[in-house]
Amino acid sequence: DSGVTQTPKHLITATGQRVTLRCSPRSGDLSVYWYQQSLDQGLQFLIHYYNGEERAKGNILERFSAQQFPDLHSELNLSSLELGDSALYFCASSVVVGGSTEAFFGQGTRLTVV
Amino acid sequence: LAKTTQPISMDSYEGQEVNITCSHNNIATNDYITWYQQFPSQGPRFIIQGYKTKVTNEVASLFIPADRKSSTLSLPRVSLSDTAVYYCLVGRNNNDMRFGAGTRLTVKP
């Protein structure tokens, strides 16, 4: 158990709909990262939040948005869903010790768009 | 951002030592090198991290030459359960958490 919790574990929805994925980082971790992984593909970096502020943005579609709340949990909102958005979505939190970073990943949310 | 290059795939047999090399020619002075392992449908898991020379833990060893332009993850005596994708990342302070394509290791009986 990495200590990072993602909900829901599975989600099936129709095209055009909107969903929200939730991530609770490990206690004390200020950074949250979101990734998308399509079938047999690599991890696509979406966005990084640190203590409520956006730090870096990857290839995140305009239909997607995220935020990190004061209690440090984060939500990834996906709207106007398309079949191609079907993927595993991972969240990670990280700890920095003397400049080095170790990330801890949740078990992911499997999104299926039908 | 330091870019990394790894072999797309590797095959090995149970009991062998596996070495996966990652090239990172543009590594910055303060960057660390970190390796993650990912099993199908699971989130990546931290394996090992280093800055220079050699680091060893209960799972693997990491060899980093003096110029730090590459690094080698060494897995001793692999088993079938080591079949996974291995990612090399280079960065510092929560930055550069972008994963490349990784190396798909297949361990055969």
pLDDT band of A37, cuts 50, 70, 90 = very high
Whether A18 contacts chain B with CB within 8 A: no
Whether A35 contacts chain B with CB within 8 A: yes
Q: How close A80 comes to chain B (CA, Å)? A: 25
Q: How close B77 comes to chain A (CA, Å)? A: 25
Q: Are A66 and A34 in contact (CB under 8 A)?
A: yes
Contacts B95 to A, Cβ<8 Å: 55-56, 101
Residue B1 pLDDT greater than 80, yes or no = no
pLDDT band of A2, cuts 50, 70, 90 = confident
Q: What's the rounded Cα separation, in Å, for the pair A103 and B99?
A: 12
Q: What's the rounded Cα separation, in Å, for the pair A103 and B2?
A: 18
Q: What's the rounded Cα separation, in Å, for the pair A78 and A20?
A: 6
Q: What's the rounded Cα separation, in Å, for the pair A44 and B82?
A: 23
Q: What's the rounded Cα separation, in Å, for the pair B55 and B61?
A: 6
Residue A42 pLDDT greater than 70, yes or no = yes
Task: Look up residue A76 and give its two tokens.
Answer: 């990834």
Question: A74-108, pLDDT tens digit by residue?
Answer: 999 999 999 999 999 999 999 887 778 889 999 99
Residue B3 pLDDT greater than 90, yes or no = no
Residue type, B57: N
Could you tell me which of B88, B75, B102 has the C-alpha nearest to residue B12?
B75
Q: Which residues have CB under 8 Å from A61's CB, separation 6+?
A: none
Q: What pLDDT does residue B83 have?
A: 97
Residue from A35, A41, A43, A86 whose CB has the most chain B CBs within 10 Å, to mutate = A43
Contacts B97 to A, Cβ<8 Å: 33, 45, 48, 92, 94, 101, 103
Q: What's the rounded Cα separation, in Å, for the pair A99 and B49?
A: 12
Provide residues of B within 8 Å CB-CB of chain A. Answer: 30, 32, 34, 36, 38, 41-46, 49, 51, 87, 91-95, 97-102
